[in-house]
Amino acid sequence: MFKGSMPALITPFQNGELDLDTLEKLVEWHIGEGSHGFVPVGTTGESPTLTHEEHEIVIDTVVKAAAGRVPVIAGAGSNNTVEAMRFVQFAQKAGADGALVVTPYYNKPTQRGLIAHFTALHDCADIPIIIYNIPGRSVVDMTPETMAELAKLPRIVGVKDATGDLARVCEQRLACGPDFVQLSGEDATAHGFNAQGGVGCISVTANVAPGLLAQMQNACTAGDYGTALAIQDKLMPLHNAIFTEPGLVGAKYAMSRLGLCSDEVRLPLTSLTDETKALLDAGLVHAGLM
């Protein structure tokens, strides 16, 4: 259903407003480069600083631009269950193929609360849901046991795992079954994630280097981990540079260097320091992109 290299799409801005023309061009570019799907309005899409109207406009734009050629998993997370229900229902209405729902941040629900939250979202619409487990940001970690309980629901189909713990892939595979879709949420370990049983990555770096990331995922799918590792070696300095400061800021700067979009971000995020820009330039050169 969902696999391969799926960019966690940035949301381009121009003078503080959505730049939808550029967003549509990026969708076309990514498809031409071999990306296997899109994930708009996640954290990399600056969801925390988009209005609800903007959130829905971006999803609608990406779904229409993709036109069924590759799947679209719409960001639909919130720490307010009612608000998340609205986003999940809109994702279905817009024609998205799935919804990505982060574990509720800041209010720190228990595992029982996580089950209740995701069950409510499962029951509110008829769209596949990918759990997004990122304890470094949400300060709550969904255990494999909890995930296994949710995996019993027919429309809870997988996880974007950003724990960085590769043992989790095996634990979740045993708990949830081999058909439960496991997608990496961390570029630096995506190669190893696949070797453990993952089937792809929702990637920040794929905003900048979609062709290389698609090739790496294709190699993993074919069992050619030697080729995949060689590509990972080319990309590792770029991965590290992108995440020196908040990843979406690094991705937008690198994309601006390639002439793809503006590097404009919304407060409280700010533009990169000169030192980080130099790291990104070096990463682009190492990857053969500049």
Residues identified as active-site: 132, 160
Instruction: Using the CB atoms, write b or e for 73-85: b if 16+ within 10 Å.
Output: bbbbbbbebeebb
CA dihedral sign, ordered 249, 15, 42, 6: negative
Exposure on the CB side of residue 150, measured as CA atoms within 13 A: 34
The amino acid sitting at 35 is S
- Phi first, then psi, for residue 98 (nearest 5°) are -165, 170
**Could you give the CA distance from residue 158 to residue 194 in angstroms, rounded to a whole number?**
14
Count of other CB atoms within 10 angstroms of residue 57? 18
**What is the rounded radius of gyration, in angstroms, for the C-alpha atoms of the chain?**
18
Helices (H) and strands (E) counted in the chain, each on its own, are 12, 9
Residue 28 and residue 44: Cα distance in Å, rounded? Answer: 19
CB 142 within 8 A of CB 170: no
What is the distance between the alpha carbons of residues 261 and 98, in angstroms, rounded to a whole number?
A: 26
